[in-house]
Structure 1
């Protein structure tokens, strides 16, 4: 029997004690939105309950950004004050949307929790959006107020938004001070909407993914469960007492990696969240790991790759005890390089598979599994069922590729104001069709390919249709096709094939500027082919993307 099998058997034994009758994470099944779903029996019923519990964590650090340090008690009080201000000054109540458009800051988190205090729905807009995209998001979710940092407040003004805008730098501190001591109360249900985050859509428009209180509380309980499982591996008791870990946040808060799976669970575990501000720079991040004694970091593969270009020997990284690769597939070669250079990767490197719609990782590969099978993305986490289905929806045997389908208490409610897209993604039994493809082998998932046309650029999802739609607005463009091409640092970069009547009549710079005015920078193609030749298509008129090339 191999070590991996021994560890798997031990994990199953520990998990059985934790989730069995009387265990701290006892599992049961309950009806959820018309389907029977496994859930934790002993759970909080809303994020508001989670917020109120956090007051007992007192003067422990919760949010750290530069010289700013916010304790759990300070955060709880500030969230109450801001909620009172939003209700009293702007009439915000249960179900109203509160837009957040900003880089990662403690104020972003504060706004999220103030919304929970009111039963309102925070909407995390993509802080990299261009004005045209911002205009779409505002029209789509109709927030009663938007809270933004100064840079994005200027973009909101440029977009012509009529919604009231509050700045994080000036307005929020003043409101918190004015309404200090107030603590609004409300009542929410488990399946009420708690958050909207945007994901790119195959139809060319971003979709608003709605997560419920049930979804997000369950994600926090999953993280607590993994803590208890880890304690069991070490032969230690677990009673849920707060720990003293320090989590580095380098992914945007408008992603589930940072919000659902990092910032929110810390209110249950008592750990600190450390923000890396500004653009990612390997040297700055390494310095932050050293100075703040970071213990946990989840990075996208592009960040991890850039880290290896730095002189790691210059920094004390001994505090780092957990390191994961998230948001995009990681190559076996990158994993090997990390183990060679980064000490924590030798013993604690993990990876996972999930999507915004799934709420958290659907599968996780443990360090031993990743060493033995570097292409796996692991086994389903607690409470998740994974099936591989053919185009007719029939479950296929192990080893056969098909669409990855997921069911759990973590899976989204649906898409905001889009019943058609929701119905196409979630069936009557609450199975999520991810649009991603892979196969199962001995209980482990291996990706066969992301959504057929999806481009994964540095951890960001880029859908060709959205860019093609922007290109097609150019008066000289007859048709276009956007594809992903390999890139050593980013994983993939965006490339465009543009068909015009006369290739001499338009320049690449002109086309690049055209797209940049409409879409976020990471969606602007880096490589181009401008041609008079028609795009290759099949008999039904679909573009044959695999036959496209932009050369070197």
Structure 2
């Protein structure tokens, strides 16, 4: 008999996480704060990697043209790790960069790096040269694994590069019988650095530790156990997860590629641009069971129309991530896309949080449209006012959270870390929201005036700083413009200096040279009139239109 209802769910959680349970939790010290932790977590990602060999010939990485078993992946990682150590001197604490489009080589490079106790740095493959230069100078990698598109510019910058296409195929086969590294690391040693757009200036480098990531693994294993307890007979090793978002985001790396190595599940990778027909054919041919998509992808599915011509019967779990979507959008999605009808899940998280802060189940979305659900296992959430006081349910304030998943801090930026993580490891998200009487989270507004374009964060201030560098610009404001496919596009209102002559085309090219393509405005209004400001001199964004 299948358990159901809130009381049954709580009983299952208590059994799984209580004393002696498979996912037993206890309070322990994490970077100076007492936090709930999984007692039986792995001690490091190296342990996770070694344990994955037990899955043998089962698929781990699958693309349209190739597949790599867990055993083959382990051998490739061991060979590359040996070359990184003996040929390039990579050791504990050193940084190894990865700047490439998604590929099995990206993931192999990640695991080889962390197996040495080194730190894998996932650079945004869409960055402009200036953004790349900033990130390289901040993280000083010993070597960077890059694809053909990015490697030439990196070499010109004096960086030691290993090519995904030319070097990795030979290196990963060079030492077929070498064992995986046996390196001792502390749980709170850094394992990976990913970047998040800064509210001012350049992107910040988010440091996640071995503990962060082994905890995320346990969170996903716990979810699998909950599904079994509620009657899902599927063995986790039989699940096949579609990876369609960039690996330099937590959605693909932390919450897909990494935990699925531990659970023995296949990662089915869409390579290149998202094209609905090709992705649907991949789901059909590889019998994909789970897919986490950004709303832009979901919108393209709805626009595609002829979904009935594909066999999508294997797809039983579908979630939205990385960008907000309205209740109306979700309802249209359920009505249009068959596999979303009874399985749609939404979530809320940040790069800094490593995984979801809260998750809304299908029942949550039905009972409270617009909710982002309840905090996930091991996560605490508080709503605070401007003074830091905790607010009761129903009152809006800043969303603050803490857990063993939360980043250690920003790399080489103690001031930004101190502004974001307060005493007792509380992470200040900058988002405004509330908790309802049932403990479900709802957001009132995103951080600052954050624009989300196709799942990518764009902070207006960063774009405004670039525009301010142009000699013809007196002042400017950057806004989100609604778009049916991408969610939002970037718009800019520019006040030109007296006598200055500048065109939209000139400003577009100026931005292209300094920003990733998704941050470049495509809607413009050039004016000689000053921007509206309040009594303190701040621009009143809400009154400005394109």
Q: Could you state the TM-score of these two structures normalised by the residue count of structure 1? A: 0.96
1:154-209 residue CA offsets vs partner (Å, 9 max, x unmatched): 3324xx32120110111112222223322332110110001000000112210000
For 2:384, the equivalent position in structure 1 comes to: 389
The residue aligned with 2:44 is 46
Deviation at 1:533, TM superposition (A): 1.1
Distance 1:437 1:349 in 2: 24
Q: Give the Å deviation of 1:306.
A: 0.9
In 1, are the aligned partners of 2:301 and 2:337 still within 8 Å (CA)?
no
Partner Cα distance (1:300, 1:393) in 2: 33
Q: How does 1:85-164 map to 2 (within 5 A)?
A: 85-157=83-155, 160-164=156-160
1 CA distance for matches of 2:249 and 2:544? Answer: 31
Structure 2 SS opposite 1:443: coil
> Equivalent residue for 2:288?
294
Residue 199 (structure 2) pairs with residue 202 (structure 1): yes
> 1:503 Cα shift?
8.0
Residue deviations 1:308-361 (CA, integer Å, cap 9, x gap): 111111111111010000011111112111211222212111000000000100
Residue of structure 1 equivalent to 2:497: 501
In the alignment, structure 1 residue 524 sits paired with structure 2 residue 520: yes
Q: Does 1:8 align with 2:3?
A: no
Q: 1:503 to 1:106 in 2, by over 3 A?
A: farther
Structure 2: tracts of 5 or more residues without a match: none
Alignment of 1:227 onto 2:221:
no
Output the CA distance in 2 between the equivalents of 1:451 and 1:19: 33
In the TM superposition, 1:403-422 aligns within 5 A as 403-422=398-417
Q: Which residue of the other structure, out of 350, 361, 385, is the alignment partner of 1:355? A: 350
Match in the other structure for 1:429: 424
Q: Is the CA contact (8 Å cut-off) linking 2:237 and 2:266 kept in structure 1?
A: no
User: Equivalents in 1 of 2:280, 2:173: separation in Å?
Assistant: 35
**1:77–1:180: 8 Å Cα contact kept in structure 2?**
yes
The residue aligned with 1:186 is: 183
Moved over 4 A (4+): none
1:252 corresponds in structure 2 to 246
1:307 aligns with 2:301: yes
What is the alpha-carbon distance in structure 2 between the residues aligned to residue 161 and residue 143 of structure 1? 12
SS of the residue corresponding to residue 170 of structure 1 reads coil
Give the distance between the partners of 2:463 and 2:177, measured in 1 at CA: 48
Q: Kindly indicate whether the alpha-carbon contact (under 8 Å) linking 1:503 and 1:531 is maintained by their aligned counterparts in 2.
A: no
The partner residue of 1:175 within 168, 171, 175 is: 171
Comparing 146-155 and 247-256, the one that deviates more: 146-155
- Unaligned runs of 5+ residues in structure 1 are none
Assess, with a 3 A threshold, how the Cα gap between structure 1 residues 330 and 503 changes in structure 2: closer, same or farther.
Answer: farther
- Distance (whole Å) between structure 1 residues aligned to residue 124 and residue 236 of structure 2: 32
Equivalents in 2 of 1:509, 1:495: separation in Å? 14
Q: Is the 2:198–2:204 Cα contact (8 Å) retained in structure 1?
A: yes
Distance 1:52 1:220 in 2: 15
Native 8 Å contact 2:434 2:444 kept in 1? yes
Q: Work out the CA distance in 1 between the residues paired with 2:327 and 2:281.
A: 27
CA RMSD of aligned residues (A): 1.4
Q: Determine the C-alpha separation between the residues in 2 that align with 1:263 and 1:84.
A: 22
**Contact 1:246 / 1:272 at 8 angstroms: preserved in 2?**
yes
Superposed displacement of residue 386, structure 1: 0.4
Distance 1:167 1:43, change over 3 A: same
The residue aligned with 1:481 is 477
Aligned to 2:15: 17
How far residue 82 of structure 1 moved from its aligned partner, in angstroms, is 0.4
What's the offset of the Cα at 1:235? Answer: 7.5
The one of 59, 62, 72 equivalent to 1:61 is 59
Deviation, structure 1 residue 9 = 2.1
Distance in 2 (CA, whole Å) between partners of 1:519 and 1:503 is 27
Aligned match for 2:458, one of 451, 459, 462: 462
Q: Compared with structure 1, are the counterparts of its residues 497 and 254 closer, same or farther at alpha carbon in structure 2 (3 Å cutoff)?
A: same
Q: Does the 8 Å contact 2:64/2:282 carry over to 1?
A: no
CA distance in 2, matches of 1:197, 1:482: 25
Q: Is the 8 A contact 1:390 1:403 kept in 2?
A: yes
Q: CA deviation at 1:230?
A: 0.7
Residues 203 and 465 in structure 1, CA contact (< 8 A), matched pair in contact too = yes
* Aligned position for 1:213: 210
Q: Is the 8 A contact 2:373 2:441 kept in 1?
A: yes
Structure 1 SS opposite 2:124: coil
Counterpart residue number, 1:332: 327
Structure 1 residue aligned with 2:263, among 262, 266, 269? 269
Aligned residues: 541
Displacement of 1:6:
6.0
